[in-house]
Amino acid sequence: MATVSTSVEEEQKALIIIPTYNERDNVTPLSETILRTYPNVELLFIDDNSPDGTGALLDVLAAREPRIHVLHRPGKLGLGTAYVTGFKWALARDYVYIFEMDADFSHDPKYIADFLSAIRDADLVLGSRYTVGVSVINWTLPRLLISKLATLYVRLITGMPASDATGGFKCFRRRVLESLDLDRIRSNGYSFQIEMTYYTWMAGFRIREIPIIFYERAGGVSKMNKAIVREAIWVVWRLWFKHLFRRKPPRTPFYQPPQPASR
């Protein structure tokens, strides 16, 4: 074989799980951009019978391109259960890196390269909007405050040292998902992200944050609502209670600023 120089790590297969609900205008450009840029990456869309016909369009894309996969669910069952379905699908196959990503271009595909490089010495990589100041484009002030407060609240109650605990752009190493009891994850909104990262941290896995700029969706409607915030408020206390007497991992921040090159 001529490809001796490529390390085994680089050949590992990655799967990006993308839940969709009414993302008709986004799925074609998004999948084209990702597949063109990353030859070892495949996509799994989980569509919840989107009324705008996203599911049918995804079937057309998948029929043309073997690196696109689609699962259909009968109705809007929420983001958390969509990801759990996708994780199980990935674990039944040979993917080594398994991503969560939104379909609405809030998560810029250019960062996938940063995730793939950071995961080499981590088990979970989180895209963070708050490593240095705030990197969010086009959010209202209340939305930003909720998000910042959520991370602070998680840190105060559980001790988890994430700079961004509710982000949804992340990459798991396969063994993390194999070790978690996925059927135990109940929450669906913000708190799904908190729960997944928290269990990963408590299990002693290596977590790293990388900086991302988050762009609010240009078209379509966000799923953010009061019920999602209420769910997160309770879930954090449930996590706290569950591990009340369990020893916590060290509180070393997940984000480590790059060291200035020494001369």
Ligand X SMILES: Nc1nc2c(ncn2[C@@H]2O[C@H](COP(=O)(O)OP(=O)(O)O)[C@@H](O)[C@H]2O)c(=O)[nH]1
Residues that bind ligand X (CB under 6 A): 19-21, 23, 46-48, 76-79, 82, 102-104, 106, 217, 222-224
Q: Work out what residue 117 binds among Mg ion, ligand X, none; the CB cut-off runs from 5 to 8 Å by kind.
A: none
Least distance in angstroms from the C-beta of 232 to ligand X: 12
Residue from 23, 42, 104, 164 binding Mg ion (CB under 5 A): 104
Residue from 81, 106, 147, 200 binding Mg ion (CB under 5 A): 106
Q: Could you give the dihedral angle defined by the CA atoms of residues 157, 162, 165 and 167, in that order, rounded to the nearest 10 degrees?
A: 180
- d(C-alpha 203, C-alpha 188), whole Å: 21
Q: Would you say 17 or 210 has its CB closer to ligand X?
A: 17
Sign of CA dihedral 199, 258, 213, 139: positive
Q: Work out what residue 123 binds among Mg ion, ligand X, none; the CB cut-off runs from 5 to 8 Å by kind.
A: none
Output phi, psi for 242, to 5 deg.
Answer: -60, -40
Q: Would you say 226 or 247 has its CB closer to ligand X?
A: 226
Closest CA to 40 of 18, 65, 11, 70: 11
Q: Work out what residue 55 binds among Mg ion, ligand X, none; the CB cut-off runs from 5 to 8 Å by kind.
A: none
Q: Work out what residue 223 binds among Mg ion, ligand X, none; the CB cut-off runs from 5 to 8 Å by kind.
A: ligand X
Q: What's at 66, amino acid-wise?
A: P
Distances (CA, A) of 165 to 78, 128, 159, 196, 236: 19, 8, 11, 10, 11
Least distance in angstroms from the C-beta of 164 to ligand X: 13
* Site track for Mg ion across 181-220, x = CB under 5 A: ------------------------------------x---
Instruction: Work out the end-to-end distance of the chain between its first and last CA atoms, rounded to an integer number of angstroms.
Output: 39
β-sheet bridge partners, residue 44: 17, 69
Q: Would you say 198 or 214 has its CB closer to ligand X?
A: 214
How many residues touch Mg ion under the rule CB under 5 A: the total is 4
